[in-house]
Structure 1
């Protein structure tokens, strides 16, 4: 049975930052992830708003973060966490890969989210290049180009309002209509370079010779009247799924499956903290994830110091 001061679950920007801060606070740290380190940023072609870095490929930034954890001596392992139990101050982490139980004084959950996808032809081929889920991250490369948004909720309208200011044209394809607040929806609809296609179903992402060309869609109810809107980029806003299934049955989650954490990244269970996109929050960006991770690690360190003072 392995035992650590801190186990960080999730090796995205939040988790890796937490591990870096924690090991620098002289904690014995294990970083776990079921996939390659980096989280969602490894699927982002270019990141342009991470301070001090400039334009960088998402996978390259992830590698740099992970290399820093390894240079500092953070233990890393590929594990799929299935359950966390809190017993008399000790956290027990169970994984899918083996029967060994990992023990820790503290845990930081930083498992992020995964985009809800359409699972239609062309999506897998063009995701991360022509298909993105973050206009703030990737919108700038489509300046004066034709872009399509899929979705009509708050995220779609908010990001669409931003994209409309920099793109040549913006098409919005949604299976209902714009469902954000009426003032924001009406404003977006009124912009001269915006066209809304309501009550439509996206059928396929079109390409030719590896080059993305556009989006094919049809009437939602009848699947008739197929159309193709030509564009150079697509942003999908049909929801995000928090990767917190292993916490079902605990009191850590709100109604949509996100973790409830306070400003110190503390959850309702003492010694369990959370950081990054998996928590209930307003803005999900690399920079906010790293900030969450730093706070969570600092609080985990303080929690452990308090435990050790009680033992004296």
Structure 2
């Protein structure tokens, strides 16, 4: 059986990441900036913390993990009376270009956090992030305990190679948090996520994601999933929210956007690599789905 959801998780390789180990003493507060196209994560390894996203406050205890999948700006603080300066205005000690240590606060009780903002390159991973809840919070999950304990140990005593260990553990923890939500929240069984977990439609989605350049048709996808054309077309639209061939085209444009940003290929090469016989046909499809031409998308 095809595990389309598992494949989407497998493709969640992070890039353009920034990680920060924070040592905070009460009273303290921080404002995280809006980071478009990023996912914010916070892991509390000791102490206590309040996080406010869009006016909603969540209290974290050691071992808790909170994600802000859309990268919206938000506040962290020890108490409502604490000032919350923008974190980018505070002095950091940079261990590497992508890893820093922040010490901040007024000398009271100590809180340790590992925070970060990460991006995802693969279209399947990006799409998965977009359908996650506004805030994703996991409280002391048993299956994540070993990862959090290792991260806390490294954060307490940063040894040679500790930066590499913490950043890799953070990547693992983000995926574990998403997986925990997928397994336990009924909302994860609806829409595109629900379609990924459907035996037949999930198989079709996996085929499209693996090889968007194939000359897919409704008939071919139906045959691959052992369904009749009419039954497949109706079920795909019901679960995914749009007809199969529109999804194929839109998925190709997700892939195209990624390749345009890389700047390693010409528009003509991208068109051929996605199964289009001409650059003109690809450009028409791209503008219809994205709203601008490939050249404008690359320039922007």
Q: Report the TM-score range of the alignment, normalised by the length of the smaller protein.
A: under 0.3
Normalised TM-score (structure 2): 0.23
Higher helix share: 2
Normalised TM-score (structure 1): 0.22
